[in-house]
Structure 1
Amino acid sequence: MKRRRLLLASCTALTLALAATACGGGPVTTASGGDKSLDGQTITVAGVWSGAEQKNFQKVLDAFSAKTGAKTQFVSTGDNVSTVVGSKIEGGNAPDVVMVPQVGVLQQFAEKDWLQPLSGTAEKSVDANFAGVWKEYGSVEGKLYGLYFKAAHKSTVWYSPDALDQAGVKPPATYEEMLKAGRAVSDSGLPAFAVAGEDGWTLTDWFENIYLSQAGPEKYDQLAAHTIPWTDPSVVTALTTLGKLFADKDLVAGGQKGALSTDFPGSVEKVFGPEPEAGLVYEGDFVAGVAKDQFGRKIGEDAAFFPFPAVDGGEAPVVSGGDAAVVLKDGKSQKAAMAFLEYLATPEAAAVWAEAGGFLSPNKQLDLAAYGDDTTRSTAESLIEAGDSVRFDMSDQAPAAFGGTKGTGEWKLLQDFLRDPSDPKATASRLEAAAAKAYKG
């Protein structure tokens, strides 16, 4: 997911030697108990996670070891998953499982014939335990390759309860009500929204939520696949809606200039830091981790969220991201690797990380009681209740040259639009030109 470009530290040793001291890897682990059906086998799992995320995922690996007797080794790829995994395959030292953070990367792996389709057992679990949309995002040309284990909810607006109380407003139900509440916050003496315009990926998330609600899921899918152009009237309408927010100096802390010099962590700090400079910040459920870990906020008490509200009479959007587990054909432990994915498809596996915190599962069979706090529980419930209306982050579905590269493509063009939102049609034309080039390539 895009947030990792800022929040996750890349490992310095990208050679990813698969020894116990490999970059991002802890010691090879096993545990007692279980049926020991995979005793003596070892699987290597590669993924972008580091820090607390890696530590919590290790608990899942340890639980799998306890159940099966298999040993596990995690190695951190940093953000360059495709490049690192490709080099490992070429060097004859491929990991067995990769946790893939983008739909586009999963599709790329499948097109290169790197992946093993999921077993019948795993597919049955996906059919039983997940909304159909997650199977669609894990499939390429009708074959299921990816199991979505960890998800993000990117349709959450975070706020300081004190700021809303001081302004005399409550969490809104519609986009217009949100702007009205923001103006009330501003009138009370605190700028409304901290916008992380220095990071273009946050601006794509703003656009995607507005577009999904305003244009609807069918149009969203068409634009994500580039089967309609970015000059489509629905895009111009969404940009016009977004531009009204960007142009309103009463709503954006520091105005356009201030937003363009604010990165994602800085936007959270402006709301939840020791000296608040804004009342609200839009981004995904991972805002809570920054507010809690960096600024000591109590989630649900002095840091809360409301769902991104419905726009112009549409449905409230639920934009998501996620990490899909895939099995590489060139891995050395095919049986154990597939067994691991079968395990990840169960609510039992999801509960391990849910209890540890910092995690959302798309597995609808997971008991919500497994989550450690009411706020995370509420976020997870919203994701599950959205069912097949969930849509994966659009820019993460696009070629990286358009949807995932700093200083170019959609990121840069939306930053330019934040700087001057006066001509949505011209911005749509520039977006289409960049998209056409990237999708062709």
Structure 2
Amino acid sequence: RQFKDVLDGFGIPYTYQGTAATREVLLAEVQAGNPPDIAILPGVGELVEYAADNRLKPLTGLYDPGEYGNPWLPEAEGIKKDLWVPLKVDLKSIVWYREGETPRPAPAPLDAWCAAMGDDGSSGWPGSDWIEDLLLQQAGQVLYARWATGDLPWTAPHVVTAWTTWAHLLAQGSREERQAILTKDHRGPAGGHGLLFGGGCSLEHQGSFARSFYGDRRAGAAFTDSAPLLPGGPYTVKAHEVSADFAALFGDGEQARTMIRRLTSERAQEEWGREGGVFSANSAVPARTGEVEREVGHRLTEQRVPLCLDASDVMPAAVRDAFYEAVLLTVAHPDEPVLPRLKDIQKVQDAQLDRVPRLTGVCGRPQ
């Protein structure tokens, strides 16, 4: 609703199509020869595939790349620059807890964690965030970036260790508890206050967008870095995982170009942040007020700690989907060996590498 309010303020005619099945709807429209003028996707991996097919129009002159530091403008080998720009971003590698219940800086048992894999779109991504964060804090940004971009095999020791660590945490639960994790919605019950305020758990490994789930209880939520609390730790904070919604142009009409220019403007980014509670990658946008907002903003701009884009968001769609499927299988059967599942994902990845260019610059220190 807040995003549409921003769009309405531009005075540019538009038709907004929102869907949980973003990939399927966009792919069908592109294949039918009727793509949208502008697409906004929760990851840049799919956009690389469209760029490789020369479907995207350059955004040159519509925004100032100098206002975006690392890793917000990743590039792809052999692909033109300026084909996507982040409209909003989120901080990950954090854990939410109820105000006044600060957790000890030590690994927490499964029964402390709010966990659910369900989603309107692709189930399993909340579990992929666990794997990604574990690999990032265990192995660091260099190996993480190699893995995310297809250079480090899924069967590499550090990847296996991250999966095994998470599987050991899941194995603490009963079959019934794991079934609940598989079927529950990650946002909590409809009309409720999210998982964190729904009873039964005290920690939630979720991005900065989680406060939107908490409704009128959001002021009672605080967060801390995930590294000390992750299984197998405590770890030191090696980097923060982040995510972004990227906009790309499929059409080259002047109104569509003007819309991108307005959406990326400092004024629109500040308004959307203020009214919608979102964060901007644009360094020209003033920092938001509020204690939680300042803490998130600090981590998004702190040059000492690198930022890394969500790995599944930079992977080709087929690899990402195989990743999610393996996550769900691990939740259901954490006692089974993880290596066969990782070999299956590797087979999918091997089939993509000759067709889909690899991204670069998915990790970096903000400017």
- What TM-score do the two structures reach when normalised by structure 1? 0.69
Q: Which residue of 1 aligns with 2:358?
A: none
Matches within 5 A, 1:308-347: 308-309=226-227, 313-328=235-250, 330-331=251-252, 333-334=253-254, 336-347=255-266
Q: How far off is 1:388 after superposition?
A: 8.4
Q: Deviations over 1:206-261 (max 9, x none)?
A: 00011112122221121112122111011112123223322234xx9964344334
Pick closer, same or farther for the CA change 1:324–1:412 going to 2, 3 Å.
closer
Q: Which residue of 2 aligns with 1:397?
A: 314
Pick closer, same or farther for the CA change 1:259–1:95 going to 2, 3 Å.
closer
Contact 1:196/1:263, CA 8 A, preserved across alignment: yes
Output the amino acid matched with 2:227. P
Tell me, which stretches of 5 or more residues in structure 1 are unaligned?
A: 1-54, 66-70, 165-169
SS in 2 for 1:119: coil
Q: Which residue of 2 aligns with 1:290?
A: 213
SS in 1 for 2:302: helix
SS in 1 for 2:227: coil
Matches within 5 A, 1:105-120: 105-120=46-61
Q: How far off is 1:403 after superposition?
A: 1.2
Q: Which residue of 2 aligns with 1:141?
A: 79
2 CA distance for matches of 1:84 and 1:387?
40
Report percent identity of matched pairs.
25
Matches within 5 A, 1:216-235: 216-235=140-159
Q: Is 1:281 matched up with 2:204?
A: yes
Q: Is 1:158 matched up with 2:72?
A: no
Contact 1:138/1:146, CA 8 A, preserved across alignment: no
Output the amino acid matched with 2:88. K
Q: Relative to total residues, which structure has the larger helix share, 1 or 2? A: 1
2 CA distance for matches of 1:140 and 1:96?
24
Q: Deviations over 1:272-322 (max 9, x none)?
A: 12xx11111211122211111xxx3142x2x22212225565534322221
2 CA distance for matches of 1:89 and 1:259?
35
2 CA distance for matches of 1:90 and 1:244?
43
Tell me, which stretches of 5 or more residues in structure 2 are unaligned?
A: 356-367
Q: Is 1:356 matched up with 2:279?
A: no
Contact 2:128/2:324, CA 8 A, preserved across alignment: yes
1 CA distance for matches of 2:267 and 2:10?
10
Output the amino acid matched with 1:432. Q
1 CA distance for matches of 2:175 and 2:333?
16
Contact 1:138/1:144, CA 8 A, preserved across alignment: no
Contact 2:212/2:218, CA 8 A, preserved across alignment: no
Contact 2:40/2:246, CA 8 A, preserved across alignment: yes
Output the amino acid matched with 1:285. S
Pick closer, same or farther for the CA change 1:260–1:323 going to 2, 3 Å.
closer
- What TM-score do the two structures reach when normalised by structure 2? 0.81
Pick closer, same or farther for the CA change 1:78–1:140 going to 2, 3 Å.
farther
Contact 1:153/1:318, CA 8 A, preserved across alignment: yes
Matches within 5 A, 1:18-97: 55-65=1-11, 71-85=12-26, 88=29, 94-97=35-38
2 CA distance for matches of 1:253 and 1:304?
31
Q: Is 1:260 matched up with 2:177?
A: no
Contact 1:194/1:279, CA 8 A, preserved across alignment: yes
Contact 2:211/2:218, CA 8 A, preserved across alignment: no
Q: Which residue of 1 aligns with 2:197?
A: 272
Matches within 5 A, 1:178-197: 178-179=106-107, 182-183=108-109, 191-197=111-117
Q: How far off is 1:391 after superposition?
A: 1.7
- The one of 281, 285, 291 equivalent to 1:366 is 285
Q: Which residue of 2 aligns with 1:214?
A: 138
2 CA distance for matches of 1:156 and 1:287?
10
Output the amino acid matched with 1:415. L
Contact 1:248/1:255, CA 8 A, preserved across alignment: no
Q: Which residue of 2 aligns with 1:247?
A: 171
Q: Which residue of 2 aligns with 1:31?
A: none
> How many equivalent pairs are there?
343
Pick closer, same or farther for the CA change 1:237–1:196 going to 2, 3 Å.
same
1 CA distance for matches of 2:114 and 2:31?
44
Identify which range, 355-364 or 259-268, moves more after superposition: 259-268
SS in 1 for 2:260: helix
Output the amino acid matched with 1:321. S
Q: How far off is 1:148 after superposition?
A: 0.7
Pick closer, same or farther for the CA change 1:142–1:418 going to 2, 3 Å.
same
Q: Deviations over 1:3-51 (max 9, x none)?
A: xxxxxxxxxxxxxxxxxxxxxxxxxxxxxxxxxxxxxxxxxxxxxxxxx
| CA RMSD between the two structures | 3.1
1 CA distance for matches of 2:19 and 2:68?
28
2 CA distance for matches of 1:133 and 1:241?
27
Pick closer, same or farther for the CA change 1:417–1:100 going to 2, 3 Å.
closer
Identify which range, 209-218 or 236-245, moves more after superposition: 236-245
Q: How far off is 1:204 after superposition?
A: 0.5
